[in-house]
């Protein structure tokens, strides 16, 4: 049995800066593309970190579920959709894949929907701090269990010892009454090097004993050059690297699903047998998993 990606959804339009709206649109698009009804989704996992107005409660996953039109009726015989936030920075999507695999293996639901996305808490990028490194976007992956070998392999994770390579927080003492519209993001000077080191370690674990495979690489994008540096360290040809549109900055938690959706839409995964997903963030921490593509993709 395997856990495969049934469909993807994305949202990056500029008519709104609400991550709830973007993630809800991506989720709805994902279900439409798959031909799956909302009541067939048993679990929705939100991995986004930077959210509208620094919302803490309720769980943003519940707001996204509502925006996507999932589980809005609540009568005696209606199927239930459970949603929750899983926040581990840029690593969150791969963590969610691991959780989704465990959920689907129980047979308790047909599909698990993973959503990701971030935004500046002010919801007005024109007035946001120009140094805020993350783009506004939403992305979704619809996962299902299938017979056969295709789909995700084991998830490998690691966290480097020592202090975080970066952090984000609301300085309530300094921000006063405008704290819901501001966020402080700090990165150590060696941020990228420290994150790269742990990313290389988990990627090697995911690639171990893989012979005769043609692997495309999709990785986090803390900088535009990071995926290429990771490919070099893994001895993967840079032509095999697939990235999202980085014109507006780092999509952060949405980087992996956006890149996969773009590569799928453009047909640039044809000829590859696997995709290596590597997520890495400020912990510094990283997670990696190898995804075996369906036969029709590799032909």
pLDDT in tens, 109-121: 999 999 999 999 8
Q: For the whole model, what pTM was predicted?
A: 0.94
Q: Which of 7-21, 41-55, 114-128, 240-254 has the lowest mean pLDDT?
A: 114-128
Q: Is the pLDDT of residue 76 over 80?
A: no
Average of per-residue pLDDT across 10-35: 96
Find all residues with CB under 8 Å of 228, minimum gap 6, and list them: 238, 241
170 band by pLDDT with thresholds 50, 70 and 90: confident
Q: Is the pLDDT of residue 277 over 90?
A: yes
178 band by pLDDT with thresholds 50, 70 and 90: confident
Select the more confidently predicted residue: 232 or 75: 232
pLDDT of residue 129: 64
pLDDT of residue 128: 53
* Residue 219 and residue 90 in contact, taking contact as beta carbons nearer than 8 Å: no
pLDDT of residue 252: 97
Average pLDDT taken over every residue of the chain: 92
Domains of the chain: 2-148 (3.40.47.10), 153-297 (3.40.47.10)
Q: Is the pLDDT of residue 141 over 80?
A: yes
Distance (Å) of CA 104 to CA 4, 97, 142, 155, 252: 11, 10, 12, 15, 26
Q: Is the pLDDT of residue 298 over 90?
A: no
What gap in Å lies between CA 108 and CA 106, rounded to an integer? 5
Average of per-residue pLDDT across 6-13: 96
pLDDT of residue 213: 72
Select the more confidently predicted residue: 78 or 257: 257
Element containing residue 95 per DSSP (H, E): helix 92-105
């Amino acid at each position: 049995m395997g856990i495969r990606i049934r469909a993807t959804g994305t949202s990056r339009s500029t008519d709104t800066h609400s991550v709830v709206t973007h993630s809800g649109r991506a989720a709805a698009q994902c279900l439409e593309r798959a031909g799956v009804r909302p009541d067939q989704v048993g679990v929705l996992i939100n991995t986004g970190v930077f959210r509208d107005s620094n919302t803490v409660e309720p769980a943003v996953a519940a707001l996204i579920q509502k925006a996507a039109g999932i589980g809005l009726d609540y009568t005696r015989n209606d199927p239930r959709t459970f949603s929750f936030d899983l926040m581990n920075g840029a690593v969150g999507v791969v963590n969610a894949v691991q959780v989704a695999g465990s959920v689907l293996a129980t047979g308790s639901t047909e599909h698990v929907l993973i959503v990701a996305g971030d935004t500046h808490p002010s919801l007005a990028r024109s007035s946001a701090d120009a140094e805020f490194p993350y783009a506004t976007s939403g992305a979704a992956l619809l996962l299902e269990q299938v017979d056969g070998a295709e789909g995700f392999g084991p998830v490998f994770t690691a966290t480097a010892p020592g202090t975080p390579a970066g952090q984000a927080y609301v300085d309530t003492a300094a921000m006063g009454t405008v704290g819901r519209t501001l966020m402080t993001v700090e990165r150590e000077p060696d941020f990228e090097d420290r994150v790269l080191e742990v990313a290389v370690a988990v990627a090697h674990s995911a690639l171990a004993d893989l012979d005769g495979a043609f692997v495309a690489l999709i990785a986090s994008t803390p900088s535009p050059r990071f995926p290429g540096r990771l490919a070099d360290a893994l001895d993967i040809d840079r032509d095999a690297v697939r990235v999202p549109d980085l014109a507006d900055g780092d999509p952060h938690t949405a980087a992996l699903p956006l890149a996969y959706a773009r590569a799928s839409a453009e047909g640039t995964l044809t000829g590859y047998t696997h995709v290596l997903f590597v997520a890495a963030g400020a912990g510094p921490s990283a997670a990696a998993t190898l995804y075996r593509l369906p036969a029709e993709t590799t032909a």
